[in-house]
Amino acid sequence: MGRTAATDEQRDTATPATEAATTGSATAPALAIESLSKQFGDGENTVVAVDDVSLTVDPGTVVGLLGPNGAGKTTLIKCALGIVLPDTGAVRVFGSDVADSHQAAYANVDAMLEGARNDYWRLTVRENLRYFATIHGVDPASVATRHDRLLDRLNLADKADTPVRELSRGMKQKVSLASVLAGGADLVFLDEPTLGLDVESARTLRRELRRLAYEEGLTIVLSSHNMGVIEAVCDRVVMMTDGRIVADNTVSALLSAADRNVVRITSPDIDTALLTTLRSTFDVQAVESTSDGTRVDIAAGGDTLYAVMETLRADDVTIETIQTLKPELEDVFVELTGLAPEQAEQRSGSL
């Protein structure tokens, strides 16, 4: 899977250092889920949470799971982690089938579920990192530099010797993430990692996730309702609804495939009669009065733009401004999941 969807934030942190991780010796996928299904309850109360899902994640990539509430994201992650037993299907982690060798398969895997993990609040930040490295079988002294860098990058260095209980909620969450990364796992699952963080902390965290993937070859599977996070951090987006995958591609490929090119035209000459004509001929999506005249948004895929221009010319309309609005990930999400736009807005607003 290529990294064609690099945002500015991604480019800031991108280095070629992890090419080996994605193309070199590690030939097995970091995660391979094959035909996995999981249902809860029985009879009339049966809920099919995950329905025949297959997914392969390459080492050193960041894959985002996006979907409305109840789509099956958490269940899929829990099945991948062996916390929930699937009804059917297989999970392989770096080539090891988790059914054959549970302990070995998960040796280099860690997770932060539901935006937090159980850090020890009486311990200091650094003690937590050392503790979680130890339970991963890593001598904390051997990863002290890594811990310093993590604390530094997540702006926690000056809190390193402070007990976690004395930190703000956002800081606690950053400690949770640092703890997940402290043991040097090669694959981490992060469920809503930026939930509840302020804008600056969320940005810091996104940057660090990108850096860890690009520079250190960390593989990240991340679930979030926040499309800004998904767009900034992920190489690839997997959209789920009703337990199934409805899209699986790079952000840029999803955006360019979206059939939602909208042209925005502003003119003082657009009157009610012309608006009626436009509405009856085209897909007029919004109309607004501005200081430069009336502003109209029209869906303009294919040759529609030419037809719109022709209609305006026939009415002697002088155009003040014209621009094309690019589709956003949210539009693709709405299109593929069948959600109402306001539902998607609520989701993307919850940083």
Which spans of this chain sit near ligand ATP (rule: CB under 6 A)? 40-41, 47, 49, 67, 69-75
In whole angstroms, give the CA distance from residue 316 to residue 290.
Answer: 20
Is the Cβ of residue 141 or residue 340 nearer to ligand ATP in the bound state?
340
Q: How far apart are CA 272 and CA 35, in angstroms?
A: 55
113 vs 185, beta carbon nearer ligand ATP: 113
Minimal distance, residue 57 CB to ligand ATP, in Å: 18
**Minimum Å distance from CB 16 to ligand ATP?**
35
Q: What are phi and psi of 240, to 5 degrees?
A: -120, 145
**The two structure tokens encoding residue 291:** 């200081």
Minimum distance of ligand ATP from residue 67's CB (angstroms): 5
In angstroms, the CA 287 to CA 297 distance is 6
Comparing CB distances to ligand ATP, the nearer of 70 and 170 is: 70
Distance CA 174, CA 178 (A): 6
In the bound complex, what is the minimum distance in angstroms from residue 77's beta carbon to ligand ATP?
A: 8
Name the β-bridge partners of 56: 32
Tell me how far, at minimum, the Cβ of 350 lies from ligand ATP, in Å: 11
Tokens in use for 333?
A: 């999400």
Minimum CB–partner distance for residue 316 and ligand ATP (Å): 52
Q: Between 74 and 267, name the residue whose CB sits nearer to ligand ATP.
A: 74
Provide the token pair at 62: 């960041």
Nearest to ligand ATP of 191, 231 (CB atom): 191
Closer to ligand ATP by CB, 37 or 261: give it: 37
Q: How far is the CB of 80 from ligand ATP (least distance, A)?
A: 12
CB 74 within 8 A of CB 80: no
Rounded Cα distance between 39 and 335, Å, is 26
Q: How far is the CB of 49 from ligand ATP (least distance, A)?
A: 3
Nearer to ligand ATP, 20 or 83 (CB): 83
State which amino acid sits at residue 94.
F
- State the minimum distance, in angstroms, from the CB of residue 345 to ligand ATP: 16
Q: Is the CB of 39 or the CB of 277 nearer to ligand ATP? A: 39
Residue that is written with structure tokens 């809920």 in the block = 47
Q: What are phi and psi of 27, to 5 degrees?
A: -85, -30
| Cβ atoms of residues 221 and 170 within 8 Å | no
> Can you give 162-212 as a three-state secondary structure string?
CEHHHCCHHHHHHHHHHHHHHCCCCEEEEECCCCCCCHHHHHHHHHHHHHH
What is the rounded CA–CA span in Å between residue 128 and residue 230?
28
- Phi, psi at 42, each rounded to 5°: -145, 175
Which C-beta is closer to ligand ATP: that of 324 or that of 350?
Answer: 350
- The residue assigned the tokens 């895997």 is 109
Q: In this structure, how many other beta carbons lie within 10 angstroms of the beta carbon of residue 55?
A: 20
